[in-house]
Chains A and B, each alone.
Chain A
Amino acid sequence: MRIKAIGLSWFRGAADPVSLELACKSMVVYGANASGKSSFVDAIEYVLNGGRISHLAHEYSGKRQENAVPNRLKPHGASTKLSIKFCDNSEINTEINEDGSSKSSGVVSSVVGVWDYRRTVLRQGEVVDFIQGTKGDKYSALLPLLGLHPMEVAAENLRQLAKNIESLSGLQQLKAILSQAAAKRKGAFGIMSDKEILEKLEGLHSKYCADKVAKKDALSRCVDLAEALETRIAQLSADHRRYLVLRTAGDLELKGNVDAVRTSSVNLAGAADPLIAQKLSVLEPTEALIDELPAEGEVKCPACGQLVRVDRFREHVKLEFERLREIRETFNQRKVAMGTLCDTVRSLKLNLDKSELKSWRDEIANGKLKECLAHLQGLNADALRTACTEKDLQGIQDKLLPLIDAAGSASVEAPPDAKRLQEDQRVVEAAKSTFEATEQAVEVKRAEALIALISALEQATRDEIRLRSKAVISEISDDIRKMWAILHPLEAIEDVGLYLPADADKAIDIRLKFYGEELDSPRLTLSEGYRNGLGLCIFLAMAKREAENDRPVFLDDVVVSLDRDHRGMIVELLEKYFGGRQIVILTHDRDWYTELRQQLGGGDWAFRALLPYENPKIGIRWSHKVTTFDDARAQLKHRPDAAANDARKIMDVELALIAERLQIRLPYLRFDRNDRRNAHDFLERIVSDGRRCFEKRTEEGQYAIHEDAIEALTNAGRLLVSWANRGSHTVDVALPEAMKLIDACEKAIESFKCATCGRGIGFADAGGPEWTQCQCGEIRWRYGKG
């Protein structure tokens, strides 16, 4: 969508309404420094960036830039407004309030958030921003062009999804249960396989459940066996039952359990539970944060507070995670150990409380184990599952182990049959826990498979992003290379392009060959001028990718550090790659403006010049002419000599370009004097050749020498010699003289422009290669016949 006009009212440098009338064409706008040309670009940025102008983002401009956006001398009651009119007759109108807030109407939604400022406007101060930005900045700048944002979002969603699945499936808890079951199995069956355990169960089933139908399901067999063994034990004599209870208590692995808790506590090495929880809660968002970090620079680790480089920070977060995972593993082991200890203490309590042991209890209650029994009675076994201090462990060791030893000693004489029943009962319990764990193992496997699946999908999505980024970046790099080759033909800097660094995600960098040597960054060697040229190529290559959208491109004083040779190639570059786009070039370089007028004059390009700025109350003003003689006129009042000198300088450039276009042959001068000819040299030859070559169509349709033009040129030449040179070397030029000189110069230049069609004399060939003419043929020039 092309722009028809940009209107400003008390916005930035503007006072009363002023409009940049583009009329949907490309345009070169000339304006001396501070004439207000960038105010039009500011208006575009203000609209595209939601009321923010980046070069005004500083502490003095105010929260909403209210101290900088409106003209500071805006009279009371006047409004700060801007409007952008598009070629389809739609428009955006914005009014900015005193406090900096604004209200927009019109087709805001089809522009704001759709047009990317970074691919619409390039300002002088932004030319090298891309080159000097971090790898992450470059990636962010290119991301919208890659068109991969939805994939980035999908990858992030998958990452979060995997984490949710881990927590919702209770994976860690299930693993802890499995670990307990594995320990039980090892204790009861050693390295026996499932098949061997089943065979053992089968044997026991035949022995104790001969009256029952053998069930295939292992767990059901365990249930049958447990019931049968319980019944048999209940049928034993009271004495035998007492022995068994004591034996059960005596066999408890309490010491081993206490040791396990102690070992795991030592392994935790002071890493307390709250600390783990706190670190994990900080690290989890940090993991998401590192995706958003730039590729370079420093960042403060939110988990530990250290200042670290971004690349090291990523590594640091990874290591922190690894470390915490290890701690969490140890933490889980400790939890398992505490759970086992709790179960053992409960079992001890349960067994020693049994009625069968009443007489035994009474006996020890009167002896030296009285305190031990009291300690057991007062102990809250369940509390040990969540918290177990060294004091608790010491108490268990000192008070409960003697009880177990006493029970063990008292059960030594248990009859073999009863012992057998009890051993078989333990085997059945261990088998039951083993087969129950099989189901939990399936759940763990499922959760792990699901997490692996989602993680693999995330990785595959990230691979796909990388692959596609490479393809797009390769296309943009090709354009950068081609554009660079136009600006810098036959120079020793080549293969300029973007690449994805292998060692970082979400990062893009620039590389090039410098005298045959590959360099990782243009910042290593390129001069300021070359960096600017490269910055321009990168911007244009990115803007070109949106060519199908036909959005305008604004180039605001971007060639300031390019020399004349390189600057001159920009037109070729724009014509080749942006032929169909609306380009707005704003420049304070009068010579370049004049060159562009000569090179691009006609066709889709228009030219406007701003008057020098006087004061904020007068604001931005347009010159009525496309030439820059108004710059000279602006100095008439105070510095007529400078005005005359300016007129001469304008003529130096204008006439050199005209002479080149008209193929005027000038005598060869020694060395670089050829490049330092002045207006008078050109005028002398143009007038001399013009008497034979410069023709105008008569009323009869014939051509005759264009006498008016010859006279204007001669007059300008005469005044340049007498007054302009005086203006250059002395200050002895009076105001009327300077005024007359400027008018004469302007008239001389205007004589090459057709009064009928408005085109210059070099606009078109006229009936063969010998002649060049304006568009309508009213005036023409015969090449090479001087």
Chain B
Amino acid sequence: MPNDLDWITAAIKKAQERGATAPDAVWTQVEALLRGRLSEGQLSVLERERTARLLIERMAQAPSKAEEPQ
């Protein structure tokens, strides 16, 4: 059985290589979500909706890349 943490890290790295950009705060959310929940089983419709809202909120709160401190 492959190491779950490895594949999540690999998937995120690949997504970044594909040019998927997002503020760090959202990356953190997505990564936590992947590690914590996605691999455990199919999320229910409500849970997916809640997760989507959470990500949209985080995205809105996070500074854009241009605004992030260098």
Interfacial residues, chain A to chain B (CB-CB below 8 A): 147-148, 150-151, 153-154, 156-158, 160-161, 164-165, 168-169, 442-443, 446-447, 449-450, 452-457, 459-461, 463-464, 468
16 residue pairs from A and B, CB less than 8 Å apart? A161-B51, A161-B55, A164-B49, A164-B51, A164-B52, A165-B52, A168-B56, A169-B56, A443-B60, A452-B19, A453-B22, A454-B30, A457-B30, A460-B11, A460-B12, A460-B13
A449 touching B59 by the CB < 8 A rule?
yes
Among A165, A455, A459: residue with most chain B CB under 10 A? A165
Give the distance to chain A from B65, nearest Cβ to Cβ, in Å: 9
Which A residue's beta carbon lies closest to that of B33?
A161
* Residues of B contacting A156 in the complex (Cβ-Cβ under 8 angstroms): 42
Interface size on B, residues (CB 8 A): 36
Give the distance to chain A from B15, nearest Cβ to Cβ, in Å: 4
* Residues of A contacting B28 in the complex (Cβ-Cβ under 8 angstroms): none
A460 touching B43 by the CB < 8 A rule?
no
Give the distance to chain A from B60, nearest Cβ to Cβ, in Å: 7
B48 touching A160 by the CB < 8 A rule?
yes
Is the CB of B1 closer than 8 A to any CB of chain A?
A: yes
B20 touching A456 by the CB < 8 A rule?
yes
Among A442, A454, A459: residue with most chain B CB under 10 A? A454
Which A residue's beta carbon lies closest to that of B21?
A449
A446 touching B20 by the CB < 8 A rule?
no
* Residues of A contacting B64 in the complex (Cβ-Cβ under 8 angstroms): 442, 446
Q: Given A147-B1, A151-B39, A154-B39, answer yes or no on A457-B48 (Cβ-Cβ < 8 Å).
A: no
A453 touching B56 by the CB < 8 A rule?
no
B53 touching A457 by the CB < 8 A rule?
no
The 4 closest A-B pairs by CB, nearest first: A460-B14, A456-B20, A164-B52, A456-B15
A457 vs B51: C-alpha distance in the bound complex, in angstroms?
Answer: 15
B12 touching A457 by the CB < 8 A rule?
yes
A157 vs B16: C-alpha distance in the bound complex, in angstroms?
Answer: 19
A154 touching B10 by the CB < 8 A rule?
no
A711 vs B16: C-alpha distance in the bound complex, in angstroms?
Answer: 85
A160 vs B50: C-alpha distance in the bound complex, in angstroms?
Answer: 12
* Residues of B contacting A150 in the complex (Cβ-Cβ under 8 angstroms): 4, 39-40
A459 touching B42 by the CB < 8 A rule?
no
Is the CB of B41 closer than 8 A to any CB of chain A?
A: yes
* Residues of A contacting B42 in the complex (Cβ-Cβ under 8 angstroms): 153, 156-157
Question: Chain A at the B interface: mostly helix, strand, loop or mixed?
Answer: helix
Among A160, A164, A455, A464: residue with most chain B CB under 10 A? A164
A417 vs B45: C-alpha distance in the bound complex, in angstroms?
Answer: 61
B20 touching A153 by the CB < 8 A rule?
no
A450 touching B55 by the CB < 8 A rule?
yes
A147 touching B55 by the CB < 8 A rule?
no
B15 touching A157 by the CB < 8 A rule?
no
Q: Given A158-B38, A460-B11, answer yes or no on A453-B48 (Cβ-Cβ < 8 Å).
A: no
B48 touching A450 by the CB < 8 A rule?
no
A168 touching B39 by the CB < 8 A rule?
no
* Residues of B contacting A453 in the complex (Cβ-Cβ under 8 angstroms): 15, 20-22, 26-27, 30
Q: Given A147-B1, A450-B55, A453-B20, answer yes or no on A460-B10 (Cβ-Cβ < 8 Å).
A: yes
B52 touching A157 by the CB < 8 A rule?
no
Q: Given A150-B4, A165-B52, A464-B10, answer yes or no on A459-B26 (Cβ-Cβ < 8 Å).
A: no
Give the distance to chain B from A292, nearest Cβ to Cβ, in Å: 13
Q: Given A150-B39, A456-B15, answer yes or no on A447-B56 (Cβ-Cβ < 8 Å).
A: yes
Which A residue's beta carbon lies closest to that of B65?
A449
* Residues of B contacting A449 in the complex (Cβ-Cβ under 8 angstroms): 20-22, 59
B14 touching A463 by the CB < 8 A rule?
yes
* Residues of B contacting A158 in the complex (Cβ-Cβ under 8 angstroms): 38
* New contact pairs (14) apart from A150-B4, A460-B13, CB-CB < 8 Å: A147-B2, A150-B40, A156-B42, A157-B42, A161-B51, A164-B52, A168-B49, A168-B53, A446-B59, A446-B64, A449-B59, A456-B20, A461-B11, A464-B14
Q: Given A449-B21, A452-B20, A453-B22, answer yes or no on A165-B15 (Cβ-Cβ < 8 Å).
A: no
A150 vs B36: C-alpha distance in the bound complex, in angstroms?
Answer: 12
A463 vs B38: C-alpha distance in the bound complex, in angstroms?
Answer: 17
A463 vs B1: C-alpha distance in the bound complex, in angstroms?
Answer: 17
A460 vs B6: C-alpha distance in the bound complex, in angstroms?
Answer: 13
B34 touching A154 by the CB < 8 A rule?
yes
A447 vs B38: C-alpha distance in the bound complex, in angstroms?
Answer: 21
A157 touching B38 by the CB < 8 A rule?
yes
Give the distance to chain B from A289, nearest Cβ to Cβ, in Å: 15
Which A residue's beta carbon lies closest to that of B1?
A147
Q: Of A157, A160, A165, A459, which one neighbours B55 at CB under 8 angstroms? A: A165
A495 vs B12: C-alpha distance in the bound complex, in angstroms?
Answer: 36
A463 vs B41: C-alpha distance in the bound complex, in angstroms?
Answer: 19
* Residues of A contacting B30 in the complex (Cβ-Cβ under 8 angstroms): 453-454, 457
* Residues of A contacting B51 in the complex (Cβ-Cβ under 8 angstroms): 161, 164
Which A residue's beta carbon lies closest to that of B12?
A457
Q: Of B11, B39, B49, which one neighbours A457 at CB under 8 angstroms? A: B11
A659 vs B18: C-alpha distance in the bound complex, in angstroms?
Answer: 70
Which B residue's beta carbon lies closest to that of A455?
B20
Give the distance to chain B from A142, nearest Cβ to Cβ, in Å: 15
A446 vs B21: C-alpha distance in the bound complex, in angstroms?
Answer: 10
* Residues of B contacting A446 in the complex (Cβ-Cβ under 8 angstroms): 56, 59-60, 64
Give the distance to chain B from A106, nearest Cβ to Cβ, in Å: 27
A450 touching B39 by the CB < 8 A rule?
no
A460 touching B22 by the CB < 8 A rule?
no
* Residues of A contacting B22 in the complex (Cβ-Cβ under 8 angstroms): 449-450, 453
* Residues of A contacting B11 in the complex (Cβ-Cβ under 8 angstroms): 457, 460-461, 464
A151 vs B59: C-alpha distance in the bound complex, in angstroms?
Answer: 25
* Residues of A contacting B7 in the complex (Cβ-Cβ under 8 angstroms): 151, 461, 464, 468
Which B residue's beta carbon lies closest to that of A162?
B52
Q: Given A456-B15, A464-B11, answer yes or no on A450-B38 (Cβ-Cβ < 8 Å).
A: no
Give the distance to chain A from B19, nearest Cβ to Cβ, in Å: 8
Q: Of B1, B13, B49, B59, which one neighbours A450 at CB under 8 angstroms? A: B59
A457 touching B2 by the CB < 8 A rule?
no
A165 touching B56 by the CB < 8 A rule?
yes
Which B residue's beta carbon lies closest to that of A447?
B56
Q: Given A450-B56, A450-B59, A460-B11, answer yes or no on A157-B21 (Cβ-Cβ < 8 Å).
A: no
Which A residue's beta carbon lies closest to that of B22?
A453
Q: Given A456-B15, A460-B12, answer yes or no on A160-B26 (Cβ-Cβ < 8 Å).
A: no
* Residues of B contacting A153 in the complex (Cβ-Cβ under 8 angstroms): 38-39, 41-42
* Residues of A contacting B15 in the complex (Cβ-Cβ under 8 angstroms): 453, 456-457, 459-460
A165 vs B40: C-alpha distance in the bound complex, in angstroms?
Answer: 21
* Residues of A contacting B41 in the complex (Cβ-Cβ under 8 angstroms): 153
Which B residue's beta carbon lies closest to that of A165?
B52
B48 touching A164 by the CB < 8 A rule?
yes
Which A residue's beta carbon lies closest to that of B53?
A168
A590 vs B40: C-alpha distance in the bound complex, in angstroms?
Answer: 51
A165 vs B53: C-alpha distance in the bound complex, in angstroms?
Answer: 7
Q: Given A450-B22, A460-B11, answer yes or no on A468-B2 (Cβ-Cβ < 8 Å).
A: yes
A456 touching B59 by the CB < 8 A rule?
no
